[in-house]
Each structure stands twice: as structure tokens, then as C-alpha cells.
A = this chain, B = another copy of it.
């Protein structure tokens, strides 16, 4: 196993379209870092539950905090098996046949055992990473969590040891006979765009809009 590639396991082996799969660590981390929201799935007894939530990546660990985590931890105080997915939608793919329509996307799935973060230092670093994940530079400006807030925040960590990316890019792929059809085909690219910032009325008049708000873009590296 190289340090660049994650080990392929039965859980991360792709059943369909294996050519879209990647186990390259840098690819996986880029997708995670660009996404704002992840979906974390866990079982409550026999019931599968999936919850959307903010998150952050620090090195080889994914951190999740807040209500999703609260619900999860109510079900198990020890480690709990989770599956986390992050999906970036890059475009709509219009093929000639309805059957060949598709979507361009970059997606990551992580399988692992989530553990509660107890150490206050690790907890604080996880929250810093979460704020920085939303807008790089914000942590330096915001008031830091106090002891009471830190105690009220549950954080869990999911190791990034078992993960895979799945990526579709490029134009439509039709069966040869369909290319003769008088049908528009192509890709409509989609991006997440920020509108003009809405300043809270009670922001002091001398405080200007920070660059990480005014020029916000999804994080790419």
C-alpha cells in the first residue's frame, strides 16, 4: 500500500462504473475540502438514518459536530459504524437517449468507526477546522468558544483509512445509432455561487466585509 493510495476494501470496491473510481488520497481530500456538507449514515437499531451536516478534514481525520452527532451518540456511546458521503455536482449531462442521461459529479464515500472526541485540545482544533472549512480566515476574527460552549459541543472523528472517490466528467456517451438523432446533446456545467453578502444590522459601522466573505469561493487546492 503506497501512501498515495488508500487500500481497496470490499466496502469501497465499486460495483458499477469501476472506471470512475479513485483511491488516490489527494483526489479524495480535494473533494472533501471543496464540499460544504457531508451526509453521515448510521444505524439506530435496525433503522438506517442519514443526516446532512457541516464537517472538516484535518490530516487523515474527518470531524463532525452538532446535532447529527448528538443523535448518533444517543444510540451508542462506544464507537459506531458510519458511512459518510460527500458529493459535488458539476453538471447535467444531456444525451440523445433518455437512458444515457447522466450527471457530472465528484463524490467520496468513507467507511469507518466514529469515535467521540474527548480531548479539549483536539475538540478545539476540530471546531477551528470546521469554521476554516466554511471560510478560510474566519477563525481569527470570530470569538473563540469558551469552556461552556466547548463542553456543550459534541464532536466525533472518523478516520479516513477506508475511502474512495467516484468521478464522472466529460460529455454524453450515446450508443452509435443515436448520434444521428436530431437531439441537442451536451453538458450544462453547474457551480455554487455566492450572492452579495447580507450584513447583519447590528454589525458595528466601522467593520468592513472581510475578504473571505466578499470573495468567497468553494475551496480548491
Contacts and interface: CB of A to CB of B under 8 A. Distances in A.
Interface stretch (A22-30, A41-49, A56-64): A41-49
Contact of A188 (B128, B139, B185, B216): B216
Contacts of A103: 36-37, 54, 134
Contacts of A143: 96-99, 178, 181, 183
A213 B184 contact: yes
Range of interface residues on chain A? 35 or more
Interface string A192-219: 1111111111111011111001001000
A75 to B, nearest CB: 11
A195 B198 CA distance: 24
Contacts of A101: 131, 134, 138, 142
A39 B109 CA distance: 12
Contacts of A111: 47
Given A54-B103, A101-B131, A186-B198, A41 B37 contact: no
A189 B198 contact: yes
A164 interface: no
A171 B192 contact: no
Interface of A: 11, 15-17, 36-37, 39-43, 46-52, 54, 66-67, 70-71, 74, 81-85, 87, 89, 91-92, 94-99, 101, 103, 105, 107, 109, 111, 127-128, 131, 134-135, 138-139, 141-145, 149, 153, 171-172, 178-179, 181-204, 206-210, 213, 216
12 contacts: A17-B67, A37-B103, A41-B48, A51-B109, A52-B105, A94-B213, A96-B143, A97-B145, A98-B143, A99-B153, A103-B134, A188-B195
